[in-house]
Structure 1
Amino acid sequence: MSFVIVLVILVSVSNLVVAAHVGLTTTDPSWDDAHATFYGDINGGETMQGACGYGDLFKEGYGLETAALSTALFNNGKTCGACFELMCVNSQYCKPNAGTIRITATNFCPPNYNEPVQYHWCNPPNKHFDLSMKMFLSFAEYRGGIVPVKFRRVMCHKRGGVRFEIKGNPYFIMVLVYNVGGAGDVTNVEIRGDKSNWIGMSRNWGQIWNAGSDLVGQKLSFVVRTSDGKSLTFFNVAPENWGFGQTYEGTLNF
């Protein structure tokens, strides 16, 4: 009996060693399965932007700790701004003891139906993260190209307050809401001028929100709600002489 127990322990230890070698460090059911690739170069060349409405990812504070998500994860842009923790698993290309990485969803990895099936990484129903090269190389070897990963949603930790970049024109105001902490993904935005009532904004695309109201010359306030149901009110974030193309930062964050 004691021999069997010792054998079981040895097998268990052996399995843990193998798991550590390929990067697997948890069996927690809160982790889900996906794959990851990378784009650009080590300095962030071809930094992916666009589908979430973010502009200069370095200027906006996201840097290279970002990813484009496949259709199954992107959710038509509603996941933009959400944060994820990833680990490389079950591959010879996982770097031993690399730990996990954290990224913010900033773009969309579109389906690719015109290529051979082995390149259909982002096609539904696949869950996939297209990382910056820097983030990919932090837990996997370059020659791996594509590796299996475990992932889970985590809270976002951002420096400073929530930021509002005003776009559009006097009759169709558009606002990019970014640098959002907490859940990270915004589900509802309201805007108010100091001479108006609260006005509900519609999602234009990604995290750009719009309203068909002329609020020029008024101080602007916002209510922002995130996917976990939390909301914050930002009073008089933009002064009455605010301008299109300008960014204003609130004093609060989630």
Structure 2
Amino acid sequence: MDMAKSLILCTALAACLTLAAAGWSQGTATFYGGPDGSDTMGGACGYDNLYNAGYGVLNAALSQTLFNDGASCGQCYLITCDGSRQGGQYCKPGTSITVSATNLCPPNYALPNGGWCGPGRPHFDMSQPAFENIGIAQAGIIPVQYQRVQCKRSGGVRFSIAGSNYFLLVNIQNLGGSGSVGAAWVKGEKTGWIQMSRNWGANWQALAGLVNQGLSFAVTSTGGQYIQFLNVAPGWWQFGQTFTNNYQNFAY
């Protein structure tokens, strides 16, 4: 039986871990944000209210190594507690959770080597509700195994608009598939396609005056899928508004 068929027939996490062992990496996890995860809203990806942006409470701040200067914003990770390593007694066996990357866990240089989120360390600072799916909160920190997985989102890709009369800043949210943006463009009613660049997190910028023009967007996901989102924002759009076409999203 080939590997693909074996994976399809997996019915238990333990079996899947055995078959896909090469796809798993070791890391660690802590939690923040309180029992309801409310303090995880906002963050270094710029998503603000994570419910409105499509991510909800099952989220995590990534260490510097995983965050990749914001290129990982929106990506999804399947995480399970690793009972075979030190601290594994605090695992909840046979459980796993998928989280979305929505924030940065920065190094703390008051601690040796920058602490758990220091350079070179793959670490997830998860919302407490996500953490408690796989580990006991009293532990504070647990060893984990993780792998990046496809994201499943509800509704279409969202475009939250900020900036000024001659500068457009767009936070691109709720991507399915690979979950993150590899490249982006914007088009006004009176312009051609304008290449955007990453400003910070999931915010993409264009040095263009597009006020009072209807806007279309084009996005290439980090999985390589290219989609044009035509006539997303009408000509009367205002800074601070978010627009979506409600159905177009990424498969990879």
TM-score (norm 1): 0.87
Q: Distance in 1 between matches of 2:15 and 2:137?
A: 19
1:151 aligns with 146
Q: Distance in 2 between matches of 1:59 and 1:229?
A: 26
In structure 2, give the amino acid aligned to 1:115: L
Aligned-residue offset at 1:48: 4.9
Q: Distance in 1 between matches of 2:183 and 2:131?
A: 32
Q: Does 1:218 align with 2:209?
A: no
In structure 2, give the amino acid aligned to 1:114: A
Aligned-residue offset at 1:61: 2.2
Aligned-residue offset at 1:124: 1.1
Number of aligned residue pairs = 231
1:26 aligns with 17
In structure 1, give the amino acid aligned to 2:248: L
1:70 aligns with 63
Q: Distance in 2 between matches of 1:206 and 1:45?
A: 20
1:96 aligns with 93
Partner deviation per Cα, 1:126-147 (whole Å, 9 max, x = no partner): 1000001111111111121111
Note the residue ranges of structure 2 that are not aligned, 5 or more in a row.
1-12
1:70, 1:109 within 8 Å by CA — same for their partners in 2? yes
Q: Does 1:42 align with 2:40?
A: no
1:66, 1:106 within 8 Å by CA — same for their partners in 2? yes
SS at match of 1:161: coil
Partner deviation per Cα, 1:120-171 (whole Å, 9 max, x = no partner): 1000111000001111111111121111111001111110000001100110
Q: Distance in 2 between matches of 1:132 and 1:175?
A: 26
| Distance verdict in 2 for CA 1:36–1:24, change over 3 Å | farther
2:156 aligns with 161
Q: Distance in 2 between matches of 1:160 and 1:218?
A: 25
SS at match of 2:116: coil
Q: Distance in 1 between matches of 2:98 and 2:185?
A: 29
2:129 aligns with 134
1:58 aligns with 51
Aligned-residue offset at 1:59: 2.1
Which of 1 and 2 has greater Rg? 1
In structure 1, give the amino acid aligned to 2:17: T
Partner deviation per Cα, 1:38-80 (whole Å, 9 max, x = no partner): 0121111421532111101122221211000001101011000
1:48, 1:68 within 8 Å by CA — same for their partners in 2? no
Q: Distance in 1 between matches of 2:55 and 2:103?
A: 12
Percent of matched pairs sharing the same residue: 47
| Distance verdict in 2 for CA 1:94–1:25, change over 3 Å | farther
Q: Distance in 2 between matches of 1:40 and 1:104?
A: 15
1:219, 1:236 within 8 Å by CA — same for their partners in 2? yes
In structure 2, give the amino acid aligned to 1:137: E
Partner deviation per Cα, 1:104-135 (whole Å, 9 max, x = no partner): 10000000110256x71000111000001111
Which stretches of structure 1, 4 residues or more, deviate above 4 A after TM superposition? Answer: none
In structure 2, give the amino acid aligned to 1:241: W
In structure 2, give the amino acid aligned to 1:34: G
Q: Distance in 1 between matches of 2:162 and 2:15?
A: 44
